[in-house]
Amino acid sequence: MAAPANTITDLSAAMVTAPVPLANWLVIAPVALCITLGAALLMMRSSMRLQAQVTVPGLAVLVLLDAALLLKVVAHGPLTMVMGRWLPPFGIAFTVDLFGALMALTAAIAALAGGLYALKDVTESGRRYGFFPFLLLLMAGVSGAFLTGDVFNLYVWFEVLLISSFGMLILGSERGQIDGAMKYAVLNLIGTTLFLISVGIVYAVFGTLNMADIAGKVETVRDTAPLMTLSALVLLAFAMKAAAFPVNFWLPASYHTPRIVVSALFAGLLTKVGVYALIRIMVMLLPVEREQLSLMIAAAGAATIIVGALGALAQDDIRKLLGYVVISGIGNMLVGIALGTSGGLSGAIVYALHSMVLMTALYLLAGQAAGV
């Protein structure tokens, strides 16, 4: 019930109202840095020489910020910052724990490697059409997805990274790129729509989109809310984004078409955001439903491993082969999620971190060997 207009609400019991220590701004610094630099590059689009000179040092700073954030989380535990003066859980929350901080730092390292490789891989035309601003905005979306504590804002950051990835995918406007971009766009549009429907169900059921608040309320609505329907929608949506079987065919059809550095960044980062979201929602928020769906998740994971391995063996194009290797790795992570044990989840997380760096490196090595 709303308070009278002349009532002064004491916020001190619900949130920190004192000036925020500088170190706590690390929670949102990675996203703020990427958005600011991306916007600055758009304003400097006529100065092609400055694009790389701003982006590569900016990505190096991003690595340092994420490393500092990881150290702070290790030292002080999870950190939360709520935007504005809205009482929790209604404000937009950025929440960082060890898992999110590790994923953000690893993504920044992969992006820095891609930025350095792009100095020679991206042509003048690619720079003119915005590769470097797209890269920074892509990292804003990836970082935001790893650092948010709100389900709707997870969707928002997905949209930011997807819009940026569409732009990177078609740089060059070649026939193969347009064809690959269409398949990529259609499947991701379906997945995003399913995710948005899931967000609507979450709000209708819980009356909040804050992840911590949902975790506290889920047991009180389990007998009356359609949580299994919600879980199935979330699983299908993020299985599409992670390129899991049987909705994996868009990845090998699109990842071989753009510049090699774009393929490297996509392989290292984008599918792992889908896996991260699955762990966040299915394991942390809906553990009972994940347990009930564990056999289905395990079967999808096993099929993904097999399809990826067989697809890789059938290829004579190194980039298509690597696309199927990405798919096979997603299957391993899904099996860890299906197990749901501390060992299984630890294995899935370590594999995801390892895959982010390794797949980026393999694509860049393939490009170096081919001279592209």
What is the pLDDT at residue 2? 43
Q: How far apart are CA 141 and CA 208, in angstroms?
A: 22
What is the pLDDT at residue 14? 57
What is the pLDDT at residue 253? 80
What is the pLDDT at residue 7? 54
Q: How far apart are CA 14 and CA 21, in angstroms?
A: 18
Q: What is the pLDDT of residues 239-278, one digit of tens each?
A: 988 889 988 888 888 888 888 999 999 999 999 999 999 9
Q: What is the pLDDT of residues 38-85, one digit of tens each?
A: 999 988 877 777 888 999 999 999 999 999 999 999 999 999 888 776
Whether residue 78 lies inside any domain: the answer is yes
Whether residue 359 lies inside any domain: the answer is yes
Whether residue 169 lies inside any domain: the answer is yes
Whether residue 16 lies inside any domain: the answer is no
Whether residue 12 lies inside any domain: the answer is no
What is the pLDDT at residue 13? 57
- In sequence order, the 6+-apart residues with CB closer than 8 A to the CB of 239 are 247, 274, 278, 300
What is the pLDDT at residue 91? 75
Domain housing 64? 22-370
What is the pLDDT at residue 80? 87
Residues of the chain with pLDDT under 70: 1-18, 85, 87-89, 172-173, 371-372
Q: How far apart are CA 241 and CA 201, in angstroms?
A: 20
What is the pLDDT at residue 92? 82
- Alpha helical stretches, state H, the chain: 29-43, 48-76, 98-121, 124-128, 131-147, 151-169, 175-206, 211-221, 227-242, 250-254, 260-265, 271-278, 287-292, 294-313, 318-339, 342-370
Count of structural domains within the chain? 1
Whether residue 7 lies inside any domain: the answer is no
Q: How far apart are CA 271 and CA 290, in angstroms?
A: 20
Whether residue 238 lies inside any domain: the answer is yes
What is the pLDDT at residue 3? 45
Whether residue 11 lies inside any domain: the answer is no
